[in-house]
Amino acid sequence: MPNSNFFTPSIGRCYSKNQTMPQIFKRPTNAISRLTIFGGVFVVAAVAWGWASVVYSPFVSGEWTPFDQPVPFSHEHHAGGIGIDCRYCHTTVEVSPFAGIPPTATCMNCHKQIWRDSDMLEPVRASLSENRPIRWNRVNNLPDFVYFDHSIHVSKGVGCETCHGRVDMMPLTWKHSDMHMQWCLECHRHPEHYLRPRDQVFTMGWKPPMDQDTLGRRLVTEYHIEPAFKLTNCSICHR
């Protein structure tokens, strides 16, 4: 005859088949377990969201923060007030990957006569007399693994303002955008949203004379811009 009792070693007691083993975990424990699991998921998601918010914040990217420079050069005064064309200083922006930094001689074309004895401009005069370039602090600096060509963007109708903002309103220069990859890809996927006529590339505050998408689609065709799927190819920027 089979034994109607069974022994539970962990508890050290013998029970009959009609008896019920005691519950180690009470019923409310199930609710606590579910709350802990789902709560853990939300905590991980919150930490990931917080981390992404910091990484993509202006605090990390340096947006909207004026850079200290050896000379407090004001684009607001030179470009906005006096109306000096971007290409007077950035001479290679139309023909080279690099926009170029003006040599001290370019600055002194005017400052030999204007503010020639200003204490603020002493570093400029010293640079010219000692034949030593001014060491400007770079404002927009892409990683070394990113290839960017100013000339191709200018020739395809991308305005300076699109990437650099209203520099004619900057008493000291700051970054207008984070220049993360997703920011670049937005333009490469939808170039029609950003294009302007070539003769307006250097115009600050330019407004399209018609709907931007209508104008942009026309310019995409006119300037022979590659289809969006080619512009988002990795080799376009990573060579």
Distance CA 61, CA 176 (A): 10
Residue given tokens 């088949």 in the structure block: 17
Helix axis angle for 104-111 and 122-129, nearest 10°, is: 120
pLDDT digit string (tens) for 214-238? 999 999 999 999 888 899 999 999 9
48 and 79 assigned to the same domain = no
What is the separation of C-alpha 110 from the centre of its chain, rounded to a whole number of angstroms? 35
Question: What are φ and ψ of residue 14, in 5° steps?
Answer: -110, 135
| pLDDT of 13 | 54
Residue 3 predicted with pLDDT over 70: no
Positive/negative CA dihedral, 103, 104, 105, 108: positive
94 and 39 assigned to the same domain = no
Distance CA 81, CA 102 (A): 19
In the three-class reduction of DSSP (H, G, I as helix; E, B as strand; rest coil), residue 7 is classed as strand
- Would you tell me how many other CB atoms lie within 10 Å of the CB of residue 75? 21
Residue 9 predicted with pLDDT over 60: no
pLDDT digit string (tens) for 55-71? 778 888 888 899 899 99
Q: Which residue has better confidence, 7 or 103?
A: 103
146 and 200 assigned to the same domain = yes
* 18 domain residue, yes or no: no
Q: What is the 3-state secondary structure (H, E, C) of 147-213?
A: CCCHHHHHHCCECHHHHHCCHHHCCCCCECCCCCHHHHHHHHHCHHHCECCHHHCCCCCCCCCCCHH
164 and 221 assigned to the same domain = yes
Residues spanned by the domain of 162: 74-83+90-101+142-237
Per the structure, the count of domains in the chain is 2
94 and 44 assigned to the same domain = no
